[in-house]
Amino acid sequence: MQYIEQVIKPSSGPQAFSHIFVRELHKLVTDGLRVDKEGDPNPGMYRSEEVIINKASHHPPTFAAVPGYMDELLAFLANEDAPQYYLIKVALAHHRFVWIHPFRNGNGRTVRLFTYALLIRFGFDVGMNVDQKLAEESGASSARILNPTAVFCTDRDTYYEKLANADSGDDAALLDWCNYVLTGLNIEIKKIDRLLSYHYLKMRILHPAVIELKQKGLITQNEFQILSKAVEIKYFAKKDIMSDIKDIKEVQISRTISSLRDRGLLVPLKENARKYVIGFGKGPMLREVIKRLGAEGFLPIKEDL
């Protein structure tokens, strides 16, 4: 994804997608992996043999036809079409890529990244309303690009069913496939919009996660008060919470902040900074946040963590 973000921009020209770009994506997701598992004997190279897709009725075209079909796909993407057709192009390109099955292994991972790149190229980013000051102080991006994995992997059975129906090339089947993709993107954008509301994030994800940590005995009462305050005001320096936490001495607050920082439950906004934001990138807080995201329908969590 970092590679894609470096080379693909909304301002990229119509020739942004090339055989070299596609093969590089494949190389990045298969190189160094076991050939009998998730790897490919020739990372970054179109297949040179016939393949069969397990549990699928579709038989990919002969390997000799792959370069020509990929030429057609890339030419289709390079066409200067009106913006209202961009998402339809993304949907059709995703199906066509899977239909061609250009690589021996790793096609699913590659096509999801390929679709991610298409969304960036056509300007479909979300999250521009994220707190700009917090983004600047933390060094984070103010935009969050939609991840196609959320659309295509939450319900794999439906995904494969829709793909198989579209293989006929029938207009109605292709339209149904496009409707499936665009509906999924719409749902995911609305989910991200909810998360970009800090009030929602605070009340439905972060605060319940902190309460759960306290109930499980994973944080002390002092730590609970400071983390709760961190959730409430987003980011803080010690002086910002002194007046609100009157029952803890200043030296105890300093020690508690230091302990929370060492455990990754508080994270400096910048290196060596004395302003902090709640951290959930590892440890028990990560587990609780994931559970809350699952309960809110953001993740396909089916078992208790």
- The length of the chain in residues reads 305
Asked if residue 24 and residue 173 are part of one domain, the reply reads: yes
- Residue 278 parent element (H or E): strand 275-278
CA distance 177 to 195: 27
- Using the 3D structure, point to which of 154, 177, 195 is the last residue of a domain: 195
Asked if residue 205 and residue 190 are part of one domain, the reply reads: no
How much is the pLDDT for 130? 44
Provide the CATH number for the domain around residue 251. 1.10.10.10
Distance of CA 20 to the CA centre of its chain: 24
pLDDT-based confidence at residue 128 (cuts at 50, 70, 90)? very low
Cβ atoms of residues 268 and 276 within 8 Å: yes
Residue 301 lies inside a defined structural domain of this protein: no
Asked if residue 170 and residue 36 are part of one domain, the reply reads: yes
Asked if residue 221 and residue 172 are part of one domain, the reply reads: no
* pLDDT at residue 242 is higher than 70: yes
Asked if residue 170 and residue 261 are part of one domain, the reply reads: no
How much is the pLDDT for 187? 86
Asked if residue 124 and residue 153 are part of one domain, the reply reads: yes
* pLDDT at residue 42 is higher than 70: yes
Which of 32-41, 220-229, 268-277 shows the lowest mean pLDDT across its residues? 268-277
What is the rounded average pLDDT of the residues 99-111? 95
- Using the 3D structure, point to which of 175, 195, 215 is the last residue of a domain: 195
Asked if residue 269 and residue 186 are part of one domain, the reply reads: no
Residue 7 lies inside a defined structural domain of this protein: yes
Percentage of the chain beyond pLDDT 90 is: 51
CA distance 95 to 111: 9
DSSP bridge partners of 276 = 236, 268
- Residue 192 parent element (H or E): helix 171-195
Mean pLDDT of the chain: 86
Which amino acid does the sequence have at 116? Y
CA distance 49 to 272: 55
The pTM is what? Answer: 0.75
Both tokens of residue 264?
A: 């990754």
DSSP bridge partners of 235 = 277
Range of the domain at 208: 198-295
Number of domain units in the chain: 2
CA distance 78 to 15: 6
Cβ atoms of residues 30 and 106 within 8 Å: yes
pLDDT-based confidence at residue 127 (cuts at 50, 70, 90)? very low
Cβ atoms of residues 33 and 104 within 8 Å: no
* pLDDT at residue 302 is higher than 80: no
Beta strands in 43-182 (DSSP E): 125-126, 144-145
CA distance 188 to 81: 25
135: Cβ contacts below 8 Å, ≥ 6 apart: 141, 142
Return the exposure string of 216-249: e unless at least 16 CB atoms fall within 10 Å of the residue's CB, then b. Answer: eebbeebbbbbbbebbeebbbebeebeeebeebe
What is the rounded average pLDDT of the residues 245-252? 78
Residue 166 lies inside a defined structural domain of this protein: yes
Radius of gyration of the chain (CA): 23
Asked if residue 169 and residue 127 are part of one domain, the reply reads: yes
Read off the DSSP letter of residue 62: P
Name the nearest CA neighbour of 192 among 133, 150, 234. Answer: 150
Question: What number of CA atoms fall less than 13 Å from residue 127's CA on the CB side?
Answer: 15
Asked if residue 227 and residue 163 are part of one domain, the reply reads: no
